[in-house]
Amino acid sequence: MSGPPPHGTLPRYGVAQLNEAIGSLLERGFAPRFLVDATVGRPQLKKGHLWLTLTDGQASIPAVIWASQLQKLSFIPEEGDGVVVVGRLNFWAAQARLTVQILDLRPSLTAVLRQFEQVRSLLAPEGLFDPERRRPLPLWPRRIALLTSVPSSALADMLRTARERWPATSLLVVPIPVQGPVEGKIRSAVERLGERARELELDAIVLARGGGSREDLAVFDGEALARCLAACPVPVVCGLGHEDDTTIADLVADYRAATPTAALVALLPDRQAERMALSQHRRHLGQLLNLRLQAERQHLARHRQRLEALHPSQLLRHQRQWLQQQRALLRALSPRHLLERGFALVRDGQGNLLRTINAVTGGDPITVELADGLLAAQVLQRLPSSADPQA
């Protein structure tokens, strides 16, 4: 069994040289930048620098955010926050101390969802998410305010959708930041629009942001922004992120759209569909008008017939016909007509019409009236008919 190598064959360092060699080895063998998923522990602000510990529950490593970089960050971590860090290794040769220098960081999905649940549990008992408090969207909006980043693909999509669907609606574009700790700026923009809504003739406000991770949407989970949206005097439509992303602003808005484009689709009528509907209404009104005209023509025809019937010439004609009928009736009932048919009228000497043979006796003078004259006669004998009861 061989012993340790002679001291003359081992590399020899001073402390500073050893630390420098370690540092050089780390620089050559480790990536200049890397990502770390961790939880923040013991954050402390010292002389403008933020010192903290990154841990995953099994191991930990110290980290620092220099003051110059801290001012540029959109998210300042707190104790227990889950974060995704962009960093690089810092090795201080004087103390052989290894630290992660944080170049950028953002909250992890776990931290974002925890904040979301905290705000939701705070606002839900107040009824801010109740469907009953949501206002209906305007049917024919005159002007809509679009709050989004400028320029952006979300804005371009919304403007194109508005032109295609309903160009009659005026769009007021209000640039806002949508990345980082900008909740206060977004809230201020919403409040200013709410105060001037009547002056600007606003019918609705659209709060929009294009794609991005759920962590990027954490700015829309703030309690103050939620209360501001709930107090807005006009309906608010949120089109944030993608269909699967839900923020506190989505829950408190009057309408939640899956995307910025969907927000404009929900607010604006479809001019093609409206044109078809107008054509159908036009046909329906034409049918109703034709039916009404037909009914009025029939009504006028009845009145015309009635007026024609009441015309003096028609009345005279009807009167002549009536008189002719009466004349014919009188002629039919006239005794003269009976005489012409061969009947005769017999009167006694006083001119009374005889209706029975018992009204005269033998030898009485009588007068017989025929169609062409009178006969003077005398009763010679009464001869009862077989139907006479005195026969």
Q: Which pLDDT value is given to residue 391? A: 43
pLDDT for 1 beyond 70? no
CATH value at residue 83: 2.40.50.140
What span, in angstroms and rounded, lies between the C-alpha atoms of 27 and 46?
27
Does residue 133 share a domain with residue 248? yes
384 in any annotated domain = no
Q: Provide the domain count of the chain.
A: 3
pLDDT for 238 beyond 90? yes
Does residue 218 share a domain with residue 362? no
| Strand-pair partners of 97 | 92
By DSSP bridging, strand 365-370 and strand 373-378 are: antiparallel
Cβ within 8 Å of residue 22, ≥6 positions away: 91, 93, 96
310 in any annotated domain = no
Q: What is the mean pLDDT of residues 26-49?
A: 85
| Strand-pair partners of 206 | 146, 237
pLDDT for 8 beyond 70? no
191 in any annotated domain = yes
Domain endpoint, select from 245, 269, 293: 269
Does residue 117 share a domain with residue 30? no
Residue 59: domain span: 11-106
- The pLDDT-based confidence of 340 (bands split at 50, 70, 90) is confident
Does residue 262 share a domain with residue 123? yes
What span, in angstroms and rounded, lies between the C-alpha atoms of 306 and 315?
12
Does residue 48 share a domain with residue 124? no
pLDDT for 38 beyond 80? yes
Q: Which pLDDT value is given to residue 232? A: 96
By DSSP bridging, strand 82-92 and strand 255-257 are: unpaired
| Strand-pair partners of 44 | 51
- Cα atoms in the 13 Å half-sphere on the side-chain side of 261: 13
Does residue 206 share a domain with residue 98? no
Domain endpoint, select from 46, 80, 106: 106
| Strand-pair partners of 369 | 345, 374
- The pLDDT-based confidence of 14 (bands split at 50, 70, 90) is confident
247 in any annotated domain = yes
| Strand-pair partners of 146 | 173, 206
Does residue 189 share a domain with residue 167? yes
What span, in angstroms and rounded, lies between the C-alpha atoms of 177 and 189?
10
Token pair recorded at residue 2: 């061989």
What span, in angstroms and rounded, lies between the C-alpha atoms of 280 and 237?
31
Q: Please report, for residues 154, 172, 264, 314, the alpha-carbon distance to residue 239 in angstroms, rounded to integers and kept in the order given.
A: 9, 16, 9, 79
Does residue 256 share a domain with residue 122? yes
Q: Which pLDDT value is given to residue 370? A: 83
What span, in angstroms and rounded, lies between the C-alpha atoms of 144 and 116?
28
295 in any annotated domain = no
Burial of 71 (0-12, 13-18, 19+ CB in 10 A): exposed
pLDDT per position as a tens digit, 55-65? 887 888 899 99
CATH value at residue 164: 3.40.50.261
Domain endpoint, select from 55, 86, 106: 106
- The pLDDT-based confidence of 320 (bands split at 50, 70, 90) is confident
Does residue 265 share a domain with residue 118? yes
What span, in angstroms and rounded, lies between the C-alpha atoms of 385 and 389?
9
173 in any annotated domain = yes
Long-range contacts (CB closer than 8 Å, 24 or more residues apart) made by 342-349: 342/371, 344/368, 344/369, 344/370, 345/369
For the chain, the average pLDDT equals 87
Q: Which pLDDT value is given to residue 388? A: 52
Among positive and negative, which fits the CA dihedral 33, 39, 42, 46?
positive
Among positive and negative, which fits the CA dihedral 253, 257, 261, 265?
negative
Token pair recorded at residue 71: 């001012």
Does residue 120 share a domain with residue 204? yes
Q: Which pLDDT value is given to residue 228? A: 96
154 in any annotated domain = yes
Q: What is the mean pLDDT of residues 124-142?
A: 94
304 in any annotated domain = no
> What is the three-class DSSP state of 109?
helix
Token pair recorded at residue 209: 């942001």
Token pair recorded at residue 102: 């944080």
Lowest mean pLDDT among 64-78, 322-336, 355-369: 322-336
Does residue 120 share a domain with residue 254? yes
Residues 248 and 220: beta-carbon distance below 8 Å: yes
Does residue 150 share a domain with residue 100? no
What span, in angstroms and rounded, lies between the C-alpha atoms of 160 and 107?
34
> What is the three-class DSSP state of 185?
helix
